[in-house]
Amino acid sequence: MTARIIDGKALAQKVRARIADDVARLKAEHGIQPGLAAVLVGDDPASQVYVGMKHRATEAAGMYSRQLELPDDTSQADLEALVGELNADDAIDGILVQLPLPDDLDPQPVQELIDPSKDVDALNPYTAGRLAVGDPTFLSCTPYGVLELLGEAGVDTVGAHVVVVGRSNLVGRPLSNLLTLKGNDATVTLAHSRTKDLAAVCRSADVVVAAVGRIGLITAEMVRPGATVIDVGTNRGDDGKLVGDVDFDAVAEVAGAITPVPGGVGPMTVTMLLQNTLEAARLRRGLPRR
Protein backbone atom coordinates (compact mmCIF):
# COMPACT_ATOMS: atom_id res chain seq x y z
CA MET A 1 0.00 0.00 0.00
CA THR A 2 1.35 3.41 -0.96
CA ALA A 3 -1.58 5.67 -0.03
CA ARG A 4 -1.68 7.56 3.24
CA ILE A 5 -4.76 6.62 5.28
CA ILE A 6 -6.98 9.54 6.26
CA ASP A 7 -8.20 8.48 9.70
CA GLY A 8 -11.74 9.71 10.23
CA LYS A 9 -12.04 8.15 13.69
CA ALA A 10 -9.01 10.04 14.99
CA LEU A 11 -10.18 13.34 13.51
CA ALA A 12 -13.70 12.82 14.88
CA GLN A 13 -12.31 12.32 18.39
CA LYS A 14 -10.30 15.53 18.11
CA VAL A 15 -13.22 17.59 16.80
CA ARG A 16 -15.65 16.14 19.36
CA ALA A 17 -13.26 17.07 22.18
CA ARG A 18 -13.24 20.64 20.88
CA ILE A 19 -17.04 20.66 20.62
CA ALA A 20 -17.37 19.38 24.20
CA ASP A 21 -15.10 22.18 25.39
CA ASP A 22 -17.20 24.74 23.51
CA VAL A 23 -20.41 23.30 24.97
CA ALA A 24 -18.98 23.51 28.49
CA ARG A 25 -17.96 27.12 27.87
CA LEU A 26 -21.42 27.96 26.50
CA LYS A 27 -23.02 26.54 29.64
CA ALA A 28 -20.61 28.34 31.96
CA GLU A 29 -20.78 31.73 30.25
CA HIS A 30 -24.39 31.86 29.08
CA GLY A 31 -26.27 29.05 30.86
CA ILE A 32 -27.09 27.44 27.51
CA GLN A 33 -27.13 23.68 26.89
CA PRO A 34 -27.55 22.85 23.20
CA GLY A 35 -30.36 20.37 22.58
CA LEU A 36 -30.81 17.86 19.74
CA ALA A 37 -33.99 15.91 19.01
CA ALA A 38 -33.80 12.79 16.84
CA VAL A 39 -37.03 11.31 15.49
CA LEU A 40 -37.07 7.65 14.50
CA VAL A 41 -40.14 6.17 12.82
CA GLY A 42 -40.42 2.38 12.63
CA ASP A 43 -37.97 -0.36 13.52
CA ASP A 44 -35.43 -0.31 10.71
CA PRO A 45 -32.32 -1.90 12.33
CA ALA A 46 -29.79 0.35 10.58
CA SER A 47 -31.74 3.49 11.50
CA GLN A 48 -31.94 2.33 15.12
CA VAL A 49 -28.14 1.94 15.18
CA TYR A 50 -27.58 5.38 13.61
CA VAL A 51 -29.97 7.17 15.97
CA GLY A 52 -28.43 5.40 18.94
CA MET A 53 -24.96 6.56 17.85
CA LYS A 54 -26.17 10.14 17.51
CA HIS A 55 -27.84 10.00 20.92
CA ARG A 56 -24.69 8.76 22.66
CA ALA A 57 -22.45 11.24 20.85
CA THR A 58 -24.76 14.14 21.75
CA GLU A 59 -24.75 13.26 25.43
CA ALA A 60 -20.98 12.69 25.42
CA ALA A 61 -20.55 16.24 24.11
CA GLY A 62 -22.51 17.61 27.07
CA MET A 63 -25.61 18.40 25.03
CA TYR A 64 -29.22 17.58 25.81
CA SER A 65 -30.43 14.67 23.69
CA ARG A 66 -34.05 13.73 23.10
CA GLN A 67 -34.69 10.51 21.20
CA LEU A 68 -38.27 10.10 19.96
CA GLU A 69 -39.27 6.67 18.66
CA LEU A 70 -42.56 6.38 16.79
CA PRO A 71 -44.31 3.20 15.60
CA ASP A 72 -44.19 2.07 12.00
CA ASP A 73 -47.87 2.97 11.48
CA THR A 74 -47.40 6.64 12.45
CA SER A 75 -49.43 8.88 10.14
CA GLN A 76 -48.04 11.70 8.06
CA ALA A 77 -50.15 14.16 10.05
CA ASP A 78 -48.87 12.89 13.40
CA LEU A 79 -45.24 13.04 12.28
CA GLU A 80 -45.66 16.57 10.98
CA ALA A 81 -47.42 17.59 14.20
CA LEU A 82 -44.44 16.30 16.20
CA VAL A 83 -42.05 18.36 14.09
CA GLY A 84 -44.22 21.40 14.82
CA GLU A 85 -43.98 20.72 18.55
CA LEU A 86 -40.19 20.45 18.35
CA ASN A 87 -40.02 23.68 16.37
CA ALA A 88 -41.78 25.42 19.27
CA ASP A 89 -39.68 23.79 22.01
CA ASP A 90 -36.98 26.23 23.11
CA ALA A 91 -34.93 23.42 24.70
CA ILE A 92 -34.39 21.95 21.24
CA ASP A 93 -31.84 23.65 18.98
CA GLY A 94 -31.55 20.95 16.34
CA ILE A 95 -34.09 18.57 14.80
CA LEU A 96 -33.36 15.54 12.64
CA VAL A 97 -35.83 13.04 11.26
CA GLN A 98 -33.97 9.82 10.54
CA LEU A 99 -34.25 8.60 6.97
CA PRO A 100 -35.50 6.48 5.36
CA LEU A 101 -39.05 6.78 6.60
CA PRO A 102 -41.57 3.95 6.18
CA ASP A 103 -42.83 3.70 2.60
CA ASP A 104 -46.21 5.33 3.27
CA LEU A 105 -44.63 8.52 4.65
CA ASP A 106 -43.36 11.38 2.47
CA PRO A 107 -40.10 12.83 3.83
CA GLN A 108 -40.14 16.02 1.74
CA PRO A 109 -42.97 17.90 3.50
CA VAL A 110 -41.53 16.76 6.83
CA GLN A 111 -38.14 18.27 6.00
CA GLU A 112 -39.81 21.44 4.73
CA LEU A 113 -41.57 21.85 8.09
CA ILE A 114 -38.38 21.87 10.15
CA ASP A 115 -37.59 25.39 11.33
CA PRO A 116 -34.55 26.48 9.28
CA SER A 117 -32.92 27.75 12.48
CA LYS A 118 -33.02 24.14 13.76
CA ASP A 119 -32.24 22.38 10.48
CA VAL A 120 -28.98 20.81 11.64
CA ASP A 121 -29.32 17.97 9.11
CA ALA A 122 -29.43 20.66 6.38
CA LEU A 123 -32.23 18.99 4.41
CA ASN A 124 -34.77 21.82 4.37
CA PRO A 125 -34.89 23.34 0.84
CA TYR A 126 -34.28 26.76 2.41
CA THR A 127 -30.99 25.54 3.87
CA ALA A 128 -29.99 23.91 0.59
CA GLY A 129 -30.86 27.10 -1.26
CA ARG A 130 -28.71 29.23 1.02
CA LEU A 131 -25.76 26.96 0.26
CA ALA A 132 -26.50 27.09 -3.47
CA VAL A 133 -26.32 30.90 -3.53
CA GLY A 134 -23.08 30.93 -1.55
CA ASP A 135 -24.48 32.11 1.80
CA PRO A 136 -24.89 28.92 3.84
CA THR A 137 -26.49 28.58 7.25
CA PHE A 138 -25.85 24.93 8.16
CA LEU A 139 -23.72 22.61 6.05
CA SER A 140 -24.89 19.08 5.20
CA CYS A 141 -23.21 16.82 7.72
CA THR A 142 -21.50 14.31 5.43
CA PRO A 143 -20.17 16.94 2.96
CA TYR A 144 -19.06 19.02 5.94
CA GLY A 145 -17.20 15.98 7.24
CA VAL A 146 -15.56 15.40 3.84
CA LEU A 147 -14.29 18.98 3.84
CA GLU A 148 -12.85 18.53 7.33
CA LEU A 149 -11.11 15.31 6.28
CA LEU A 150 -9.54 17.01 3.26
CA GLY A 151 -8.28 19.80 5.48
CA GLU A 152 -6.86 17.37 8.03
CA ALA A 153 -5.05 15.53 5.23
CA GLY A 154 -3.54 18.77 4.00
CA VAL A 155 -5.35 18.59 0.65
CA ASP A 156 -5.62 22.10 -0.82
CA THR A 157 -8.86 22.35 -2.79
CA VAL A 158 -8.09 25.82 -4.20
CA GLY A 159 -7.88 25.37 -7.95
CA ALA A 160 -8.05 21.58 -7.61
CA HIS A 161 -10.24 19.44 -9.87
CA VAL A 162 -12.62 17.43 -7.70
CA VAL A 163 -14.82 14.75 -9.23
CA VAL A 164 -17.83 13.89 -7.09
CA VAL A 165 -19.43 10.64 -8.21
CA GLY A 166 -23.06 10.63 -7.10
CA ARG A 167 -25.68 13.39 -7.26
CA SER A 168 -27.86 12.71 -4.22
CA ASN A 169 -29.32 15.55 -2.17
CA LEU A 170 -27.60 14.08 0.90
CA VAL A 171 -24.04 14.11 -0.41
CA GLY A 172 -23.27 14.77 -4.07
CA ARG A 173 -25.18 17.97 -4.73
CA PRO A 174 -24.42 19.79 -1.44
CA LEU A 175 -20.78 18.70 -1.53
CA SER A 176 -20.38 20.08 -5.04
CA ASN A 177 -21.80 23.43 -3.91
CA LEU A 178 -19.68 23.46 -0.76
CA LEU A 179 -16.44 22.82 -2.64
CA THR A 180 -17.03 25.79 -4.93
CA LEU A 181 -17.58 28.32 -2.12
CA LYS A 182 -15.09 31.14 -1.70
CA GLY A 183 -12.16 29.80 0.28
CA ASN A 184 -12.61 26.24 -1.00
CA ASP A 185 -12.46 27.31 -4.65
CA ALA A 186 -12.40 23.86 -6.23
CA THR A 187 -13.35 23.15 -9.83
CA VAL A 188 -16.00 20.46 -9.48
CA THR A 189 -17.33 17.84 -11.87
CA LEU A 190 -20.52 16.21 -10.60
CA ALA A 191 -20.57 12.77 -12.20
CA HIS A 192 -23.31 10.16 -12.09
CA SER A 193 -24.67 7.00 -13.71
CA ARG A 194 -25.10 8.66 -17.11
CA THR A 195 -21.67 10.29 -17.25
CA LYS A 196 -19.86 9.24 -20.42
CA ASP A 197 -16.51 7.51 -19.84
CA LEU A 198 -16.63 7.85 -16.08
CA ALA A 199 -13.18 6.28 -15.77
CA ALA A 200 -11.57 9.02 -17.86
CA VAL A 201 -13.41 11.72 -15.94
CA CYS A 202 -12.18 10.34 -12.62
CA ARG A 203 -8.61 9.95 -13.89
CA SER A 204 -8.54 13.70 -14.58
CA ALA A 205 -9.22 14.53 -10.92
CA ASP A 206 -6.95 15.65 -8.12
CA VAL A 207 -9.63 14.42 -5.70
CA VAL A 208 -12.24 11.71 -6.30
CA VAL A 209 -15.23 11.47 -3.95
CA ALA A 210 -17.30 8.29 -4.33
CA ALA A 211 -20.86 8.63 -3.04
CA VAL A 212 -23.05 6.24 -5.00
CA GLY A 213 -23.66 3.17 -2.87
CA ARG A 214 -22.17 0.59 -5.23
CA ILE A 215 -19.47 -1.80 -4.05
CA GLY A 216 -16.19 -1.51 -5.94
CA LEU A 217 -17.38 1.23 -8.29
CA ILE A 218 -14.06 3.10 -8.21
CA THR A 219 -11.19 0.91 -9.38
CA ALA A 220 -7.45 1.55 -9.54
CA GLU A 221 -7.64 2.23 -13.28
CA MET A 222 -9.98 5.17 -12.55
CA VAL A 223 -7.57 7.00 -10.23
CA ARG A 224 -4.65 9.19 -11.25
CA PRO A 225 -1.45 8.29 -9.36
CA GLY A 226 -1.16 10.45 -6.25
CA ALA A 227 -4.80 11.59 -6.24
CA THR A 228 -6.84 11.77 -3.03
CA VAL A 229 -9.80 9.38 -2.79
CA ILE A 230 -12.67 9.94 -0.37
CA ASP A 231 -15.04 6.99 -0.02
CA VAL A 232 -18.50 7.97 1.25
CA GLY A 233 -20.10 4.65 0.31
CA THR A 234 -21.55 2.42 3.01
CA ASN A 235 -22.54 -0.99 1.70
CA ARG A 236 -22.85 -4.47 3.14
CA GLY A 237 -20.76 -7.10 1.39
CA ASP A 238 -21.81 -10.71 0.96
CA ASP A 239 -20.05 -11.49 4.24
CA GLY A 240 -22.04 -8.79 6.03
CA LYS A 241 -19.05 -6.51 6.52
CA LEU A 242 -19.26 -2.80 5.82
CA VAL A 243 -17.49 -1.77 2.62
CA GLY A 244 -17.36 1.37 0.50
CA ASP A 245 -17.69 2.31 -3.15
CA VAL A 246 -13.92 2.08 -3.70
CA ASP A 247 -11.90 -1.05 -4.41
CA PHE A 248 -9.78 -0.12 -1.41
CA ASP A 249 -6.80 -2.48 -1.64
CA ALA A 250 -6.21 -1.84 -5.34
CA VAL A 251 -6.83 1.91 -5.24
CA ALA A 252 -4.58 2.32 -2.20
CA GLU A 253 -1.66 1.19 -4.38
CA VAL A 254 -2.26 4.15 -6.70
CA ALA A 255 -3.75 6.98 -4.63
CA GLY A 256 -1.77 9.46 -2.57
CA ALA A 257 -4.31 9.46 0.27
CA ILE A 258 -7.51 7.52 0.89
CA THR A 259 -10.26 7.13 3.48
CA PRO A 260 -11.14 3.63 4.71
CA VAL A 261 -14.60 2.16 5.22
CA PRO A 262 -15.37 1.92 8.06
CA GLY A 263 -13.41 4.56 9.93
CA GLY A 264 -13.28 7.30 7.32
CA VAL A 265 -16.19 9.57 6.49
CA GLY A 266 -18.74 7.87 8.77
CA PRO A 267 -17.48 9.14 12.14
CA MET A 268 -17.27 12.66 10.76
CA THR A 269 -20.94 12.75 9.74
CA VAL A 270 -22.14 12.44 13.33
CA THR A 271 -19.41 14.83 14.48
CA MET A 272 -20.52 17.60 12.15
CA LEU A 273 -24.11 17.09 13.28
CA LEU A 274 -22.88 17.99 16.76
CA GLN A 275 -21.07 21.02 15.36
CA ASN A 276 -24.23 22.18 13.60
CA THR A 277 -26.25 21.76 16.80
CA LEU A 278 -23.72 23.82 18.73
CA GLU A 279 -23.87 26.55 16.08
CA ALA A 280 -27.68 26.46 16.12
CA ALA A 281 -27.71 26.98 19.89
CA ARG A 282 -25.49 30.03 19.53
CA LEU A 283 -27.23 31.56 16.53
CA ARG A 284 -30.73 31.10 17.94
CA ARG A 285 -29.70 33.24 20.91
CA GLY A 286 -27.94 35.93 18.95
CA LEU A 287 -24.41 34.75 19.76
CA PRO A 288 -21.76 34.77 17.02
CA ARG A 289 -20.39 31.63 15.43
CA ARG A 290 -17.07 30.41 16.78
Catalytic residues: 54, 98, 121
18 alpha-carbon distance from chain centroid: 18
Which phi and psi angles does 162 have, rounded to 5°?
-110, 125
Residue 64 to residue 55: CA distance in whole angstroms = 9
Which phi and psi angles does 78 have, rounded to 5°?
-70, -40
Residue 241 to residue 217: CA distance in whole angstroms = 17
Burial status of residue 5 (CB atoms within 10 A of its CB: 0-12, 13-18, 19 or more)? middle
Question: What's the one-letter identity of residue 254?
Answer: V
Say if CB 57 and CB 23 are below 8 A apart.
Answer: no
Q: What is the dihedral of CA 114, 119, 122, 126, to 10 degrees?
A: 60
